[in-house]
Amino acid sequence: MVPGEITGIHYLAPETPISIPANFGMMKSMSNTPNLYFNRFLSNLPNFHFPPPGQEFTPQSSCLSNNSTSDEADEEHQLSIIDERKQRRMISNRESARRSRMRKQKHLDELWSQVLRLRTENHTLIDKLNRVTESHEQVLQENARLKEEAIDLRQMLTELQIGSPYTTALRDLE
């Protein structure tokens, strides 16, 4: 198909046939425009012809006819090119979707790996916290026991000093 060529004009035609006047072919000679100009203009249009007088205009019969074999071959070639492009686009879209699914799966695998690593780290930290807490409790208990022991020892020392003969001798000397 030549760029700018109109095909498929029959889709714009109304469903009901339109009668074309019998003198339609004569109209161009009645106009003020020279015949030469019309011939030059009409010869530039691909496959242009006037319908026979009195023929009805239907979607199947249009001024731009695609009845020639070269036009049908061109149309088939165009359709095959379009189908080929659609096929390539469909394959490309499938590959793109496959790559997207693979990226998504890789991302999910990385996230699961991270979840497992963080869970392991969390359990390790919880175990360490439990050990430190237990150790802290033991240190607090030992500290309380040592304080009580220190109080008891001070009490005993005080009692010993009061009842000791050295203490009474020291008081007598004073």
**Mean pLDDT, residues 117-145:** 97
* Cβ(20)–Cβ(54) below 8 Å: yes
pLDDT at 141: 97
Closest CA to 75 of 46, 45, 42: 46
Q: Is the pLDDT higher at 52 or at 79?
A: 79
The pLDDT of residue 27: 46
Local structure of residue 18 (DSSP, 8 states): E
Q: Which whole number is the average pLDDT over 38-61?
A: 50
Provide, rounded to the nearest whole percent, the portion of the chain with pLDDT above 70: 55
More confident residue, 174 or 144: 144
Between 103 and 61, whose confidence is greater? Answer: 103
pLDDT for 30 beyond 80? no
Q: For residue 58, which phi and psi values (nearest 5 degrees)?
A: -125, 165
| Residue of 44 and 79 predicted with greater confidence | 79
Using DSSP's 3-state secondary structure scheme, residue 64 falls into strand
What SS3 class is residue 13?
Answer: coil
Of 61, 37, 58, nearest to 49 (Cα)? 61
Going by C-alpha positions, the residue among 52, 49, 30 that lies closest to residue 39 is: 49
Largest CA distance in the chain: 161
Q: What is the mean pLDDT of residues 97-125?
A: 97
The encoded tokens of residue 159 equal 């009692």
Dihedrals phi, psi of 50, to nearest 5 degrees: -85, 140
pTM of the model: 0.40
User: In this structure, what are the phi and psi dihedrals at residue 17, rounded to the nearest 5 degrees?
Assistant: -65, 150
Q: Is 57 helix (H, G, I), strand (E, B) or coil?
A: strand
* Both tokens assigned to 2: 């030549």
User: What is d(CA 174, CA 172) in angstroms, rounded to the nearest whole number?
Assistant: 5
Cα end-to-end span (Å), the chain: 136
Q: pLDDT tens digit string along 135-152?
A: 999 999 999 999 999 999
